[in-house]
Amino acid sequence: MDRRNEPPDPRETGNPYDATDATERRDDEGTFREEAAAESIGAGSPEDVPHETFGTRGSVQQTVGIGRSTETGSYVFPAFDDHHPPEKNLIDDCVHCGFCLPTCPTYVLFGEEMDSPRGRIYLMNKGLDEEPMDDTMVRHWDLCLGCMACVTACPSGVQYDKLIEATRAQVERRYERAPEDKAFREMIFQLFPYPDRLRLATAPLRLYQRFGVGDMLRRAGIMDRLPKRMKAMEALMPMMTRQQEVPEITSSIGEKRRRVGFIKGCVQRVFFSEVNAATVRVLSAEGCEVVAPKSQGCCGALSVHAGREEEFQRFARKLIDVFEDAEVDEIIINAAGCGSTLKEYGYLLRDDPEYAERASVFTAKVRDVSEFIQELGPVAERHPLPISAAYHDACHLAHAQGVRQQPRATLKQIPGMDVREIKEAEICCGSAGIYNMVEPEPATELGDRKARNVLNTGARMIVTSNPGCMLQIQASLKRMGRSMPMAHPVEVLDASIRGEPVETLLDRAL
Ligand code: SF4
Ligand code: SF4
């Protein structure tokens, strides 16, 4: 009997990668499986592939966290349903060249093929071939930071961003997470996209910080007994400062050049309200009337990056409604993670008959603040700020939006600024939306690696365009017993335009 025509049943074999195609099913002939696996990752033969790429019987080797007791152990057949599975034609764009591997943070950490973009695309293809969605497969996708460094590195233009977004939505719909994992994620999504709830929840944090409760718990060894995810959340909390509200309408200083909308973000408005205040001052100084509608909610970035499609769509539709009413020329955002999602609204709402076109109009207006400042051209006088600053590229600005030169140019236009580059700039700091809370171990390794590279620049401060990156790098510096002032590029520009002394920036603490 020719077993090659039999459908595989991983529940019987116990190996989810068993019998994944006709060639691989010839287990008894040994080398076929490894040849197929080698071919799938672009190697001529199994000998070209590092030994650790294959586990026993040619299956992929397990990676960090796989097999942990919290996984469900159940399979979903087939992996994907018909609602936007990862597109076959996008998968086929991958020619397995491997150029993306050195820039992929999880591949850099684990050296595991299935934790590389190429490996994850391979698993998506397996899913399309009606393989089951199982713990191992989901684990490799979960470990992806969504940093999009692979999109920048790929010479074939593989749209990994679209592939992983589609895959994550499938995982959220079809995969049953362990109850504690589900509960933790739910807690995050009931809190972070809602600034009022977040503000309320962080109110006790002021007392906690004022009385040094965290340090006491650390000294008593209690912190070490907390679950890793809770410990990571505690380490990431910034120093709570006085909230600075931005007005609903701010007039331009001097002649009005534009009427722009301003998106306040959720984490940004609660933890970094001073960045928002600085953004509005800078825009006004550059001749913009700034409209920051009070009724604006979350943009849905956290939700879409976690595959929570319906939740994202609700947020997006509401934001479109709000900014249509505002009648603005451009829509400005200062948080990289939100900006990349806002620029995808047209694509993400493409199925919605009522909103598809309106979402595209919205998207066409969206600009990162540094991108907009450079487009507009400076009119406000820049006063000197004699300071060295390491500029950290937020992945969702550099890789996802291609905005690299504009924040650097914004800083370099300030007399006296010495902008320094960070080694391994393309590698993510491990923040990645909710990643550093749900995957604290790899996130910590990446954060520490980034912090070391930042310290090696010898700069006096760090400048970056994403709140998550600020929290992540600062937590790593703290762990190392170091600290460094941090600022958003627009805060530096604001200090320069206002003629503030450099100490204003250096005295900042997160
Ligand atoms: S998005 Fe980042 S972590 Fe994910 S595969 Fe691409 S490079 Fe790797
Ligand atoms: S660089 Fe692009 S084509 Fe090459 S393996 Fe990576 S995703 Fe595939």
> Left, alpha or beta for 208 (phi > 0: left; psi -120 to 50: alpha)?
alpha
**Residues with a CB atom less than 6 Å from ligand 1:** 103-106, 117, 120, 144-150, 160
- CA 151 to ligand 1: nearest atom: 6
Residue 95: nearest ligand to its CA?
2
CATH of the domain at 151: 1.10.1060
Could you tell me the distance, in angstroms and rounded to a whole number, from the CA of residue 160 to the centre of ligand 1? 8
Side-chain-side CA neighbours of 20 within 13 Å: the count stands at: 27
Q: Which amino acid is at 377?
A: G
Q: Whose CA is nearest to atom 6 of ligand 2?
A: 100
Both 357 and 464 in one domain: the answer is: no
Q: Give the C-alpha separation, 235 to 148, whole Å.
A: 25
Residue-by-residue pLDDT tens, the chain, 510 positions? 333 333 333 334 333 333 333 223 333 333 333 344 334 333 333 333 333 333 333 333 445 555 455 566 677 788 999 999 999 999 999 999 999 999 999 999 999 999 999 999 999 999 999 899 999 999 999 999 999 999 999 999 999 999 999 999 999 999 999 999 999 999 999 999 999 998 888 878 777 777 677 777 777 777 777 788 888 888 887 777 788 999 999 999 999 999 999 999 998 999 999 999 999 999 999 999 999 999 999 999 999 999 999 999 999 999 999 999 999 999 999 999 999 999 999 999 999 999 999 999 999 999 999 999 999 999 999 999 999 999 999 999 999 999 999 999 999 999 999 999 999 999 999 998 899 999 999 999 999 999 999 999 999 999 999 989 999 999 999 999 999 999 999 999 999 999 999 998 888 755
Which residues, judged by CB distance below 6 Å to any ligand atom, belong to the binding site of ligand 2?
A: 94-100, 117-118, 150, 153-154, 156, 158
Mark out the alpha helices in 148-241 (DSSP H runs): 149-153, 160-174, 179-191, 195-210, 213-219, 228-236
pLDDT at 71: 65
Structure tokens at 240: 């709570």
Residue 492 lies in a domain: yes
Q: Whose CA is nearest to atom 3 of ligand 2?
A: 94
138 CA to centre of ligand 1 in angstroms = 14
Are 447 and 301 within one domain? no
Domain assignment present for 106: yes
Q: Are residues 16 and 107 in the same domain?
A: yes
Q: Are residues 368 and 392 in the same domain?
A: no
Q: Does residue 210 form part of some domain?
A: no
CB–CB of 451/473 below 8 Å? yes
Q: How far is the CA of 451 from the centre of ligand 2 (A)?
A: 28
User: What's the confidence (pLDDT) of residue 365?
Assistant: 98
Residues 139 and 11 in one domain: yes
Domain containing 429 — which CATH number? 3.40.50.11810
151: nearest Cα among 128, 109, 121: 121
- Return the best residue to mutate from 97, 104, 113, 163 for the ligand 2 pocket (most ligand atoms within 8 A of CB): 97
241 belongs to a structural domain: no
Domain co-membership, 341 together with 484: no
Atom from ligand 1 closest to the CA of residue 145: 3
**Other residues' Cβ atoms within 10 Å of the Cβ of residue 238:** 20
Which residue range is the domain that position 67 belongs to? 3-174
CATH number at residue 262: 3.40.50
Whether 266 and 397 share a structural domain: no
**444 and 348 in one domain?**
no
Give the end of a domain, one of 143, 174, 205. Answer: 174
In a shared domain, residues 366 and 390: no
Model pTM? Answer: 0.84
Mutate to test the pocket of ligand 2, among 114, 115, 150 (most ligand atoms within 8 A of CB): 150
Smallest CA separation from ligand 2 atom 8, residue? 94
Residue nearest to atom 2 of ligand 2 (CA): 154
* C-alpha span between 166 and 391 (Å, rounded): 32
For residue 306, the SS3 value is: coil
Same domain as 370, residue 268: yes
Based on the fold, state whether residues 43 and 152 are members of the same structural domain. Answer: yes
